[in-house]
A and B are shown apart, each in its own frame.
Chain A
């Protein structure tokens, strides 16, 4: 290690970089994490507003608040936004900020690639939402089932925005996944063996594996769809011999691992928070690791449970039904271990802990309804009804979003050096908890009573009105709860940055350095002897840890800022995005060529630019 040359004198000043240019050229994983967080939160609010508009439309029968066409765009963009622009990049914020900190690294393995991922994500998100401005927002569902997406049934640019936007976002996800995977494999602090990694790092690691193996499949499916729409092939079109069901297979080979991509980071966050606020080590660490790996492994063998209604035959139905039931076992192991962690602990019900417990409770509900439709005959009743909507919102909102919010309260002091107000946090929790359950629990009833999803309204004589009204009020409460959260963050930003390094008495390495961390993270990386290195040091110090001081850190070489990642990202956007024009302006292919030229030029400049 080069620690001997690091200057440990107190820092005279810190954060020399300010201004917009410093954000565009930054390769610091912490700043990129913040960029991811802010961007994704804005997209998340946008997706929330789309949901609220739908809830207002469904408040009463035969409502005309929005048109059927707009409703189609709203549910399509709500799903697409929440998954690809909300939950995934919010997870990426935590990957960025906390994987290097928790494994004791100075940065990710490829800092410029990390910046590139962010810029591609931002541009892809803007591209797909730009469609609203020209009244061509995607409207064929976030699953884009063929042949609804064909030129015949989806004329206009709506589906093209969706196809190309997802393709751009896929580039960002792949680049980020390679980066974090290599970071975790290769950048760990001395002594941090695989089975000493914090559980958040473990679950993030498994998430990257899922991303790496699932995204290529949707990439190819989207290429086929693009060819069908722009170059007159028949991959998914029966009139040319194609099979629309092939789309469903390719989509769900990606799509089921994708739900674990959405939930596993949240599992990891909750597994960090529960031990810290129970003052007890995580119960069954090894079982947690292997159940996570087992979930990921099985996750590739269950995709057709989304397709029971397509008539695959008894053999495939039985196989995918059994594999889906099997996946409940490792999931149950996790829930058992979380409860085991809290069992007999001295629980401290601070805001992060409340959200973590809420996540566990609600995920159980979503998991159980999931097992219900792993049974094909039951699924045939439930498919395409609000029962399914209830199920996946319990998993993805009750599970993923609650877990991510728990992480936000837990790590906010580390990221910004300021505590969030605990009283306001608790208010946020109870409003969100109530709002969420009031919104989504009645959907179980409506679904079993036969209310179909993705339909813009319902007739008055079906008795759907009461629960729909209840849900709409619940969703408004849910929406307001986020205003409390925003207000809490705004208030915190007005206070001086005086949060201690370790406000929660945490177990992992990030709590050993000042809040917010200095650019180089660790002046010296402490040796790791267990999965709870900070607790080891605390114990050795008789129960207390000295407050870490900011040091000058001269002698530590950090990667140089670079704008080539952003330039290359523009190349990606132009190259892929300009395919949009092939419908109407086939002679505009020169724009695609220009994009490719920017892309290649960016890559070369990047490759020949010294990293340090």
Chain B
């Protein structure tokens, strides 16, 4: 069916906002409770681990088959860098959306690519961080800190992954010229999701990494 025909049967909505945009905001509202459950569990179990390694303090932990003193496990510089990358990806995706709405295809493709690269970089940071922790003796089941930390950041990371796939799909559409200004809502919705993933990290970064 041609676009013109599709437009003719589109009904005006009660709020004047496209239903898909209302839907993504509804999903975002709902996901607040998903992350609230994860964050409360992390905080409730803070300091309740029976063995190390621990995030901010030295501890006794099992490494290479024997109990030994372990350093605090968090590396703040690495995560700060990842945080900055994710923040800038939010900036890039609004520029991409601006380009899409103005019909500026070059701007759209440039900044959307930058966003996807940032997202991939963040995922890479997380994979590196997790494997580093693992080598330091922090497996998924090592202690309560490990289980709650990996589950919380893992849930966030899987949201980042979905966002990257979504934005990459739109990037392919943009490159093929299938994301004209009239369809910029597709990008706007994905961008809203992407920003939400970013604000969740804005909460996780200080609460998990910076509070002792």
Contact = CB atoms under 8 A, between A and B. Distances in A.
Consider the complex of A and B and state whether they touch directly, i.e. have CB atoms less than 8 Å apart: yes
Most chain A Cβ neighbours within 10 Å, of B1, B14, B38, B140: B14
Interface in A376-401: none
Contacts of A242: 45, 144
Interface in A267-295: none
Interface string B8-21: 11010111010100
Interface string B23-54: 10011011101101110010011001110000
Contacts of B37: 216-217, 219-221, 250, 253
A557 B151 contact: no
B31 A216 contact: yes
Grouping DSSP codes into helix (H, G, I), strand (E, B) and loop, the B interface class, with mixed when no group exceeds half, is helix
A174 B14 contact: no
A16 interface: no
A232 B30 CA distance: 29
A612 to B, nearest CB: 6
A187 B14 CA distance: 6
Interface stretch (A114-122, A178-186, A469-477): A178-186
Contacts of B48: 241, 243
Nearest to A232: B141
Contact of B23 (A178, A235, A250): A178
B22 A182 contact: yes
Contacts of B148: 235
Interface stretch (A89-97, A223-231, A451-459): A223-231
Given A2-B8, A241-B48, A213 B30 contact: yes
Interface residues on A, range: 35 or more
Contact of B29 (A109, A212, A214, A246): A212
Interface in A157-191: 174, 177-179, 181-182, 185-188
Contacts of A212: 26, 29-30
Given A109-B23, A187-B14, A231 B140 contact: yes
A612 B6 contact: yes
Contact of B44 (A110, A240, A246): A246
Given A216-B33, A224-B151, A240 B144 contact: yes
Contact of B41 (A215, A246, A604): A246
A610 interface: yes
A186 B6 contact: no
A528 to B, nearest CB: 11
B34 A557 contact: no
A8 interface: no
B126 interface: no
B110 interface: no
Contacts of A2: 8-9, 11
B109 to A, nearest CB: 20
A224 B41 contact: yes
Nearest to B25: A182
B199 to A, nearest CB: 16
A192 B13 CA distance: 12
A234 interface: yes
B60 interface: no
B41 A235 contact: yes
B147 interface: yes
B8 A186 contact: no
Given A220-B34, A227-B151, A241 B144 contact: yes
A582 interface: no
Interface string B55-68: 00000000000000
A187 B144 CA distance: 47
B143 interface: yes
Given A216-B30, A219-B34, A109 B19 contact: yes
A233 B141 contact: yes
A605 to B, nearest CB: 13
A231 B141 contact: yes
A188 B14 contact: yes
Nearest to B33: A216
Interface in A519-568: 557
B26 A178 contact: yes
Given A181-B26, A216-B37, A241 B143 contact: yes
B30 A110 contact: no
Contacts of B6: 610, 612
Contact of B19 (A187, A220, A224, A612): A187
Nearest to B178: A608
Given A220-B37, A227-B147, A232-B141, A612 B26 contact: no
22 contacts: A1-B11, A174-B30, A178-B26, A178-B27, A181-B26, A182-B26, A186-B14, A187-B19, A212-B29, A213-B33, A216-B31, A217-B36, A219-B34, A224-B41, A224-B151, A227-B147, A234-B144, A234-B147, A240-B50, A241-B45, A241-B50, A241-B144
Given A192-B14, A242-B45, 4 more contacts: A178-B23, A216-B36, A233-B140, A612-B1
